[in-house]
Amino acid sequence: MSNREAWASRIGLVLAMAGNAVGLGNFLRFPRQAALNGGGAFLIPYFVAFLALGIPLMWVEWSIGRYGGQFGQSTTAGQFDRMWRSKWAKIVGSLGISIPLLITIYYCYIESWTLAYTFFSIGKTYFGSTELDSMNQFLRSYQGVAGGGPFPTVLIALGFWFLTLVLNLTVLYRGISGGIEKLAKIAMPILVIFAVVLVVRVISLGTPDPAFPERNVSEGFGYVWNPDFSMLGSFPVWLAAAGQIFFTLSIGSGAIQTYASYLKKNDDCAAAGQIFFTLSIGSGAIQTYASYLKKNDDCALTGLATSSTNEFVEVVLGGSIAIPIAVAFFGMEATRAIAAQGSFDLGFVAMPVIFQKLPLGAIFGALWFSLLFFAGITSSVALLSPFVAFLKENLGLSREAAVVVCGIVLFGFGLPILLLLQYGYMDQYDFWIGTVLLVVFSLIETLIFVFPFSSSLVDRSTTRNRLAAWFKHAGEAGWEEMNRAADIRIPRFFFLLIKFGLPLILSFLLIGWVWEDLSSNSSVILMRGVEGDAAMFQWIARGSILLLIVGVAITVSVAWKRRVQ
């Protein structure tokens, strides 16, 4: 453990954790969800989900990561093995390695679009596609799913995807302090600066077309921020809000636990946390951030700060760009229609059309897509960290060898996503990994944090009835770990919420999502309306997901047997 990697600076950890939380979902998925679910009406269940689901889960994951890091364990496989005295702990924990790896397999492809469109903006490649239909054709041509566009083959997309993989692997190759931390120090300030510049440009738009006075930026901001309380009775709105919390905070993937485990034992973070708290008061948002934890330092403030920082970027910055500017140029109904087509239509179809109508549009387009790329790569390197850490710590590979193995897996499993996009191959990944398994793993880690982690307290309990002892002591060990040397004392209410509420909320959420899908005419689970080659390739996608999950679980089991021997 003495040679274990660690963060080199306080600001590095601050920015790396912010980069992990701030991703493509902040600027693409959140505006779409808000547009589809009543604008300001969406923010009410969104913030309820943030308080009742996001913050408690963030605390749980930070605590698990810090606890496991004390024993040199950077992944949930090793962390669960320390918390739960069962031969199955490491196998269940292997999901915290395979889930983020699977997410990155398709996330890097989307990330590569942002890199490509940055260059397309600089070179004005898409300029001339001034209508939504023609811009949609441009995107589909680039993806290789439609002919007749400017890209005769998928080779350009393949090239940018490969370049994106190389950039991610280069960062990982350089390690925690030399790669991830340096990337965060460069990318995160640039991201925020670009976002602020774009927000200022949006605010200054006014009414772009005097012939349509109702299409103005004020209407766009009003749509985002004016609440519609009648929407609170809509169950799908609440499901969408809870789902967005998972996407935006990176909870349920296993990446947070890995970052939280790389903490020095003898450094202080109180000052940095107080600085971020002071900044939050000035900005009107809770921007506290405990930056550099030692063994007995704060987890409560760190988890709160990470999630709150992300909410500021998502709601204040992300919510102030795509929706207001789309309403100003296309009107309210057209914006809803664009959002209904998907997050990609809003970000890669509507926005490029708008940039062509703005003075210096190529520059603003480059800012927008480079912002998305920085948001993407700071998240993807975080998602890849558990797999690389496992290969290093539990299989004994060097960092260089671990990164090579990671690259082979990314390329081998990612290539079909690029080549079979038109058959819904990526949709299977997005649903099963980006939706279902995130909730499943969050439920599993919460139950382990509440019950097995407290088993020693139950064994020592003076309560004779073992069931009563479990009921009495469940969650106490986790609560003690969470509050150990905390700069802020978490209200007791959250203990009850984590012990009883989180398992119920997560179970209800999982059932709700599955029921919603099964009730849909386009059910992903039942593959309704999917026939022929598309059905075959989507079953292959499911098989590849299962193959990687089982493969990682077997590798984890082998690694532990080697360690025992």
Q: Report pLDDT digits (tens) over 513-524.
A: 889 889 988 888
Q: State residue 41's pLDDT score.
A: 77
Alpha helices in 284-360 (DSSP H): 300-311, 322-330, 332-341, 343-345, 351-355
**Of residues 216 and 304, more confidently modeled:** 216
pLDDT band with cut points at 50, 70 and 90 for residue 270: very low
Asked if residue 290 has pLDDT above 50, the reply is no
The model's pLDDT over 525-549, given as tens digits with 9 standing for 90+, comes to 999 889 999 999 999 999 999 999 9
Domains identified in the chain, total number? 1
Residues 6+ apart with CB under 8 A from 221: 320, 324
Among 8-22, 124-138, 328-342, 531-545, the range scoring the smallest mean pLDDT is 8-22
Q: Report the candidate in 14, 382, 373, 325 with the shortest Cα–Cα distance to residue 190.
A: 373
Amino acid at 17: M
Q: What separation in angstroms does the CA of 344 have from each of 2, 103, 167, 348, 422?
A: 45, 17, 23, 5, 14
Asked if residue 275 has pLDDT above 50, the reply is no
Residue 287 lies in a domain: yes
Residue 1 lies in a domain: no
Which pair of tokens denotes residue 62? 């930070």
The model's pLDDT over 472-515, given as tens digits with 9 standing for 90+, comes to 778 888 888 887 766 667 888 999 999 999 999 999 988 988 89
- The CATH number assigned to the domain holding 260 equals 1.10.4160
Mean pLDDT value of segment 108-122: 97
Mean pLDDT value of segment 437-460: 84
The model's pLDDT over 216-237, given as tens digits with 9 standing for 90+, comes to 999 888 877 777 777 777 888 8
Angle between helix 399-419 and helix 532-564 axes, rounded to 10 deg: 170
Mean pLDDT value of segment 151-180: 93
C-alpha 531/C-alpha 523 separation (Å) is: 13
- The three-point CA angle 447-448-454 to 5° equals 110
Residue 3 lies in a domain: no
C-alpha 80/C-alpha 530 separation (Å) is: 39
Asked if residue 292 has pLDDT above 50, the reply is no
Asked if residue 56 has pLDDT above 60, the reply is yes
Residue 375 lies in a domain: yes
pLDDT band with cut points at 50, 70 and 90 for residue 276: very low
Residue 108 lies in a domain: yes
Whether 139 and 148 have beta carbons less than 8 Å apart is answered as no
Whether 172 and 385 have beta carbons less than 8 Å apart is answered as yes
C-alpha 289/C-alpha 283 separation (Å) is: 14
Residue 5 lies in a domain: no
The model's pLDDT over 178-205, given as tens digits with 9 standing for 90+, comes to 888 889 889 988 998 999 999 999 999 9
Q: State residue 326's pLDDT score.
A: 93
The model's pLDDT over 315-331, given as tens digits with 9 standing for 90+, comes to 778 888 988 999 999 99
Q: State residue 279's pLDDT score.
A: 31
C-alpha 224/C-alpha 317 separation (Å) is: 12
491 three-state secondary structure: coil
Report the predicted TM-score, pTM, of the whole model to 2 decimal places. Answer: 0.89
Asked if residue 138 has pLDDT above 60, the reply is yes
Mean pLDDT value of segment 433-456: 88
Amino acid at 1: M
- Count other C-beta atoms under 10 Å from residue 284's C-beta: 9
Hey, what's the torsion of the CAs at 527, 530, 534, 539, to 10 degrees? 20
Hey, what's the torsion of the CAs at 197, 198, 202, 208, to 10 degrees? 110
Q: Which domain holds residue 353?
A: 10-564
Q: State residue 367's pLDDT score.
A: 97
